[in-house]
Structure 1
Amino acid sequence: MHFKWYAAIVVALALGYPSLCLAEDDPQSIIGDVILCQEITDSSQRLECFDGNVRELQRVRDAKEIIVVSRENLAKSRRNLFGFPSSDAPFVNGGSEAEEEKIEELTTTIKSVGGGEGHYVLTLENGAVWEQSESGYMTEPKSGESIVIKRAILGNYMARISGRPAFRIKRRR
């Protein structure tokens, strides 16, 4: 049991996501205190330090003031949130350390098409709904076609379906 906690703490620190900690009392200091316990040379004091800090860590976890997220789950969340303004939030991107991991484009498949000419609404295979945000003629998209959505300037997004000309698109839900 203690190994799982220690592993979770190490994973959280290794991932470098300080903003995942949401407690009023800085949970990062609790994690730091747990790690500092290993420097105590007296066995009984070290055990007392670990026990006390792990109890506090468990309290903030149970109160949902701190969470630990795997890299895999964080990457999945980033892909699912791509296109929302909150997808730039530090808890999604991991702060400045994860800038190289920020998603700049998404390649997926169209699940269904709604709307009509000049105003298509596309549901993607992950359930995300995107809407054509500039009117204009384009070949009607079809279910099963590949779509690439890229970040553009000023918070905009551009989409290209099966290699055809790009168009502006916005995330609806």
Structure 2
Amino acid sequence: MQAYRLAALAAGLTLPLAALPQPAHAQVDDAIVLEIMRQCARIDDASARLACYDNNVRSAGASPARNTVPGQIAAPQASSAAPAVRGFGSEDVRRSDRFDSTPAGQLDELTTRVTAVRMQQPGVYRLTLEDGAEWQFSESVPNSYRPPREGSVVTIDRAALGSFLMVFDNQMSVRVRRIR
């Protein structure tokens, strides 16, 4: 009986809401929307790119926002902080101003020499490469694994879901992440 009363009450509340006039949404040509999205996608800075998407979707009538003209692309704001980390795997370095992991370059693998090796904990090593980039093992390796030494050549490949695998001396691959 109690469930019947609640259902009747809910039905009674939704009928008046359905009778209220709904706002009319402007129809925008799909080609215009696609061009706006392409223009936004060209913005390198992730927060400026997101702002471009948000501002243009709002201006098309999705939700109330600033007064902008539909179809007009919002100008991205220039980022004051220049990215200090560049090169292969730089998108994996955590920074406070960037939360996405879009690949910065087109390289699928990097083969380079190790300039320094530090053991962080048993089975986990931090490597410094020729270009100054620092990579750390994401998982520990067994005692039988021979870690690279100074002067060793390693290959780092892109793996699934934005991760990286390092291969050294025909041993098993090790999941690594770029620190700096």
| TM-score, with length taken from structure 2 | 0.45
Return the index of the structure with the highest Cα Rg: 2
More helix per residue = 1
